């Protein structure tokens, strides 16, 4: 293992990021390291737009998680598009109403943040077996942190953790108090109660039921109709291969569950993905419910918090 890779691993393991710029700096450094230590690119046999990187001997020939080759940026692309991304964020912070007129290539938002998060995931993939057990949690925690930093960089008061709830009966009398915990809590400056609540997950796998139930329970316990959204990075994973050397991906999105919860419990106010599955754009119901992530920053977030 090289000293550089050890430094990258330590940064991720220590959650050593205090703002969005530091996460993007790390991602840039990692993508530069990758460009110098990449041995091969492996194409998934069943979905050719998904690839895997294989490192050289400096990282023990590790093969990464799958990534969408149509979203991932190499080092030089990341450097160039980060300048544009930073300008977009400044526009969204300072000129919300006019921002959409000047953001001509919104896909850059998805590409840059997708690459940044995958750089974290690729780093975790290089950990030795004994240290990789909690890699999934670390990856999820840092995706949540990055999304909070994105909101804050746009001037939005976003936090995570718990906030107090007062439970009242049908006559408006207080009957209980409790704390409610969530990944993203956004407050409008004129209100004490949240104006938007967000679930932030790298994937919906094993979590989709909780996301819908959280909205159902919160609305009924609080007696409000607070906007509740979900942000996901992707919904693919490496498929188990029957033969050695065969690389495929499988979808982790549970179409039937999502539709059932949307129609029979309650629809979420917004669902946003950086890496969209084809079914999201071909199925009539999913097409109405699921959008690309940049729509949240360019349009929907301002409606939720107004």
Here the tokens at position 70 are: 């149509």
Q: How many structural domains are present in the chain? A: 2
Domain boundary among 109, 129, 153: 153
The pLDDT, as a whole number, for residue 132 is 62
Of the candidates 256, 261, 200, which has an alpha carbon nearest to the alpha carbon of residue 229? 200
Residues 162 and 275 both lie in one domain: yes
Last residue of a domain, one of 121, 153, 185: 153
- Residue 10 pLDDT: 94
Q: How do residues 77-123 score in pLDDT, each as one tens digit? A: 999 999 999 999 999 988 777 777 788 999 999 999 999 999 999 99
Which residues are CB-neighbours of 4 under 8 A, at least 6 positions away? 33
291: domain range?
A: 158-305
Return the pLDDT at 134: 87
* Final residue belonging to a domain, choices 85, 118, 153: 153
- Output 215 or 165, whichever has higher pLDDT: 215
Sign of CA dihedral 93, 12, 290, 112: positive
Q: Return the pLDDT at 177.
A: 86
- The pLDDT assigned to 191 comes to 63
Q: What would the two tokens of residue 194 be?
A: 């949240």
Say what the pLDDT of residue 88 is.
Answer: 94
Domain shared by 181 and 231, yes or no: yes
Q: What percent of the chain has pLDDT over 90?
A: 74
Residues 140 and 114 in one domain: yes
DSSP E strand boundaries for 205-248:
227-232, 236-238
My answer on whether 144 and 248 are in the same domain is: no
Asked whether residue 164 falls in the same domain as residue 287, the answer is: yes
Domain co-membership, 191 together with 281: yes
User: Are 206 and 278 in the same domain?
Assistant: yes
Residues 138 and 178 in one domain: no
Task: Inform me whether the pLDDT recorded for 138 exceeds 90.
Answer: yes
Residue 130: predicted pLDDT: 67
Q: Do 203 and 265 share a domain, yes or no?
A: yes
Average pLDDT on 178-196 reads 83
Looking at the structure, tell me whether residues 235 and 267 fall in a common domain. yes
């Amino acid at each position: 293992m090289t000293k550089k890779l050890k430094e990258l691993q330590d940064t991720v393991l220590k959650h050593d990021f205090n703002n969005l710029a530091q996460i993007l700096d790390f991602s840039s450094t990692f993508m530069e390291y990758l460009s110098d230590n990449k041995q091969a690119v492996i194409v998934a046999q069943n979905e050719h737009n998904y690839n895997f990187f294989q490192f050289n001997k400096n990282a023990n020939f590790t093969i990464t998680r799958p990534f969408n080759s149509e979203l991932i940026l190499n080092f030089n692309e990341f450097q160039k598009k980060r300048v544009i991304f930073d300008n977009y964020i400044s526009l969204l912070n300072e000129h919300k109403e006019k921002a959409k007129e000047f953001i001509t290539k919104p896909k850059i938002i998805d590409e840059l943040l997708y690459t940044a998060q995958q750089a974290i995931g690729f780093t975790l993939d290089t950990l030795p077996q004994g240290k990789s057990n909690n890699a999934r949690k670390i990856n999820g925690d840092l995706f949540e942190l990055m999304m909070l930093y994105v909101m804050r960089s746009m001037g939005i008061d976003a936090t995570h953790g718990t906030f107090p709830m007062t439970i009242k009966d049908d006559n408006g009398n207080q009957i209980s108090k409790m704390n409610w915990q969530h990944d993203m809590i956004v407050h409008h400056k004129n209100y004490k109660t949240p104006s938007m609540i967000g679930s932030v997950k790298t994937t919906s796998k094993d979590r989709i039921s909780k996301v819908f139930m959280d909205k159902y329970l919160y609305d009924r316990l609080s007696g409000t109709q607070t906007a509740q959204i979900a942000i996901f990075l992707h919904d693919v994973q490496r498929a188990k291969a029957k033969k050695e050397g065969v690389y495929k991906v499988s979808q982790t999105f549970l179409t039937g569950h999502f539709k059932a919860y949307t129609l029979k419990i309650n629809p979420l106010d917004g669902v946003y993905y950086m890496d969209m599955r084809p079914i999201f754009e071909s199925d009539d119901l999913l097409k109405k419910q699921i959008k690309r992530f940049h729509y949240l920053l360019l349009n929907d977030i301002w409606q939720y918090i107004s």
